[in-house]
C-alpha cells in the first residue's frame, strides 16, 4: 500500500536543511532502501551521500560477503564501526549503514551521539522481494529469506527503535520516502 506523498516546498526543505547540524545516518534491515532513498534525501538537501558498505568494499578491495566469509561478522562489525566514525567526522551529509550496524551497541552509541539516526522500516514481503534482486547478502545465504528476514526484524527491532526517527517505507516513489524522512527529522529537531 502506497502512502500519501508529503508535500514540502523547496523553501520548507531549505528551512529543514538549515536546521540539520550533523550527518543523517540511515539504519534498518537490508533491502529497506537505505542507499536508494539516501541518495534521494542527499539530493533534496544538496549534501553528499555515502554508503558504508561501498566504502568498506573499496578499502578492503573485497565484497562484504567475502569479508564475512573470510574473517567473520565480529571482524566486519569492528571495521564497519571505524568506517562509520570516520565518515561522520568527514561529512554532514547522508550516510547509509549496513543492516547490522545499529545493532552493535558501540556503533549505535556512536551514531546516536554524533548524528541524526533514522530507522527505515517496511514489511517483510517487500524486504524479501527487494533482497531477492541481488545475491550479495551474506546473511540470506543460509536458508529461507522470508524466515531469516522475519527473525532479523524481531531480533533487531529493539535496537532500531532507539533511532531518533522512524520512517516506514513502501513501494512508492523514493522521493516521497525522502520527504517523509525530512518531515520526521523536522519534528524531531
For the stretch 89-125, pLDDT in tens is: 987 799 999 888 999 999 999 999 999 999 999 988 8
Q: Residues 6 or more apart from 127 whose CB is under 8 A from it?
A: 29, 30, 31, 32, 149, 153
Q: Measured between alpha carbons, how far apart are the two ends of the chain, in Å? A: 29
Give me the chain's average pLDDT, please: 88
SS3 168: strand
In this prediction, residue 174 carries a pLDDT of 87
CA dist., res. 23 & res. 28, Å (int): 16
In this prediction, residue 134 carries a pLDDT of 59
DSSP 8-state assignment for residue 143 = S
For the stretch 153-181, pLDDT in tens is: 999 999 999 999 999 987 778 899 999 99
pLDDT confidence bin for 3, thresholds 50/70/90: low
Identify each DSSP E strand in the chain by its residue range. 24-27, 49-51, 94-96, 116-121, 165-168
In this prediction, residue 51 carries a pLDDT of 94
In this prediction, residue 169 carries a pLDDT of 87
In this prediction, residue 142 carries a pLDDT of 66
For the stretch 7-60, pLDDT in tens is: 889 999 999 999 999 999 999 998 899 999 999 999 999 999 999 999 999 988
In this prediction, residue 4 carries a pLDDT of 62
Range in 1-5, 15-19, 68-72 the model is least confident about? 1-5
In this prediction, residue 16 carries a pLDDT of 95
In this prediction, residue 173 carries a pLDDT of 82
Answer whether residue 137 shows pLDDT above 70.
Answer: no
> Which pTM value belongs to this model?
0.90
Q: Give the number of other CB atoms < 10 A from CB of residue 99.
A: 22
**Among 36, 162, 16, 170, CA closest to 103:** 162
Amino acid at each position: 500500500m502506497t502512502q500519501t506523498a508529503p508535500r514540502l516546498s523547496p523553501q520548507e526543505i531549505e528551512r529543514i536543511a538549515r536546521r540539520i547540524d550533523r550527518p543523517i545516518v540511515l539504519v534498518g534491515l537490508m533491502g529497506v532502501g537505505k542507499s536508494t532513498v539516501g541518495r534521494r534525501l542527499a539530493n533534496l538537501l544538496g549534501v553528499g551521500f555515502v554508503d558504508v558498505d561501498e566504502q568498506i568494499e573499496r578499502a578492503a578491495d573485497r565484497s562484504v560477503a567475502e569479508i564475512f566469509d573470510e574473517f567473520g561478522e565480529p571482524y566486519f562489525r569492528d571495521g564497519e564501526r571505524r568506517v562509520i566514525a570516520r565518515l561522520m567526522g568527514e561529512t554532514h551529509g547522508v550516510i547509509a549503514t549496513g543492516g547490522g550496524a545499529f545493532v552493535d551497541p558501540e556503533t549505535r552509541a556512536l551514531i546516536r551521539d554524533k548524528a541524526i539516526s533514522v530507522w527505515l522500516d517496511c514489511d517483510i514481503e517487500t524486504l524479501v522481494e527487494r533482497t531477492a534482486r541481488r545475491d550479495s547478502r551474506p546473511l540470506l545465504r543460509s536458508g529461507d529469506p522470508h524466515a531469516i528476514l522475519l527473525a532479523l526484524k524481531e531480533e533487531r527491532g529493539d535496537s532500531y527503535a532507539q533511532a531518533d526517527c522512524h520512517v516506514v517505507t513502501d513501494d512508492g516513489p523514493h522521493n516521497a520516502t525522502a520527504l517523509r524522512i525530512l518531515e520526521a527529522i523536522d519534528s524531531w529537531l
